[in-house]
Amino acid sequence: MRRAERVSPPAEPCSGGAITLIVHIDMDAFYASVEIRDNPALKGLPVIVGGSSSGRGVVCAASYEARKFGVHSAMPASQAVRRCPDGVFLKPRMSHYAAESKKIREIFHRFTSLVEPLSLDEAFLDVGGSEKLFGDGVTIAKLIKQTIREELDLPASAGVAPNKFLAKVASDLDKPDGLTIVPTDGVEAFLEPLSISRVWGVGPKTEARLRPLGIETVGHLQRLSKAQLCHAFGANGEHFWRLARGLDTRPVVPDRFAKSISHETTFSQDIGNPDALRAWLRELTDQVGRRLRRHEIVGQTVKLKLRYDDFRTISRSSVLKRPESSSEGLWREVVPLLNGVLAESRQSVRLLGMGVSQLRQPGKIQQRLFDAEENQRSDQLDKTLDSIHDRLGASAVKRASSVEHSIRFRTGPMIDPKDQR
């Protein structure tokens, strides 16, 4: 564990007068950890979730034993086999992981109502208002990690910091089963020795532009003025300047208060295969749909986000005929957006995201009879599948369209790059 001392609270209060103190919880090699827990015979073995020993498909997650051989998520299984010929390949059980994720979220809500999930295996928690009940941020982070371990037998890492950027960076520094604290009065000193790759938005190409300038650490970046960075990187310059100093004012926004709900993922290796991107988008859409339905809200606008390997970011949106929370309805609207973007450019993609905005409580919507009947069937199917997955967890029941999509579009099982740490 790194820096196990008490964290000094930040100076500025959040809304309502409570102190802003952020904990970022990140499950360690989530999919692989679940599989090892469920089958203790796998403990100590190089477990690879996704792909196959014949070299087909793509890696979803790798245990830390497999990572010693250089295996990581989003890697082609053929390459994983070459690096780790004794790897134990397992088929992903996505609905089972989703059921475990729900149990983890329930633990989070015991400590604070301000929980912002990022994916199945990580979330931000604002615990500033919980200190009188549970203790300081470090104590709360330890309690959450301990509860997850005792009740679910799964490892998690945590970062405790004054804001979201710092908390997320911290949680990634001491994996697995780590706890890293960023004291308010030592933010720049904490960031100074870290690689510039830790700064959000500094990808391989940006890093390649910085290193010839002698900029290899965040400390080197801190020595540049805002004007120098804006001259070199345009609008991104101020972004780099702020993060190099640990400045981030974004609040933790629970789903029920959000203006939009989205999921996005950054690939450890750029993806240029259109079929793989469609498969990714399907998984992101299903996750967004589940969150909408869990909070009994619908959205009117569907959004697509892509970031290319040169860090150029584009977005597309489409307004639905009726507010939706159905995964199929969202999918029908968002996949044409992706197809349109892919027709414009075959450039490799670094980040893919999908979201829904214009959120509201579902109300009575006038529509044609046959549309209403079709939407009712789709909504009922979503509710039934959500209920089965929540109760049973196992992937015994699947949507027929998902099976068809897997056959048509996937070269391998789905990957969740949040699980690559």
Determine whether 131 is an active site residue: no
Using CA atoms, how far apart are residues 226 and 223, in angstroms rounded to an integer? Answer: 10
Q: Name the packing angle between helices 369-392 and 274-294 (round to 10°).
A: 90
Using CA atoms, how far apart are residues 68 and 213, in angstroms rounded to an integer? Answer: 32
User: Which of the 8 DSSP states describes residue 296?
Assistant: T
Provide the token pair at 33. Answer: 């950890």
Phi, then psi, of 120 in degrees rounded to 5: -60, -25
Provide the token pair at 142. Answer: 């330890």
Cis status, amide bond into 176, omega within 30 of 0 = yes
Q: Write the CA distances from 192 to 22, 169, 188, 195, 369, integer angstroms.
A: 20, 13, 6, 8, 62
Provide the terminal-to-terminal Cα distance of the chain, rounded to the nearest Å.
17
C-alpha radius of gyration, the chain, whole number = 22
Q: Is 255 exposed, middle or buried (0-12, 13-18, 19+ CB in 10 A)?
A: middle
Bridge partner residues of 357 (DSSP): 260, 301
Of 100, 122, 283, 324, which residue is the catalytic one? Answer: 122
Using CA atoms, how far apart are residues 240 and 320, in angstroms rounded to an integer? Answer: 36
Using CA atoms, how far apart are residues 250 and 262, in angstroms rounded to an integer? Answer: 16
Q: Name the packing angle between helices 369-392 and 327-344 (round to 10°).
A: 100
| Angle at 140 (CA atoms; ends 139, 144), nearest 5 degrees | 120
Strands 47-49 and 88-90: parallel
Q: Starting from the edge strand earliest in sequence, which strands make up the sheet with 156-161, in order?
A: 115-119, 122-126, 22-27, 156-161, 179-181
Using CA atoms, how far apart are residues 381 and 322, in angstroms rounded to an integer? Answer: 18
Provide the token pair at 150. Answer: 């005792």
Q: Write the CA distances from 97 to 106, 118, 152, 225, 315, integer angstroms.
A: 14, 15, 12, 45, 29
The residues that are catalytic are: 122
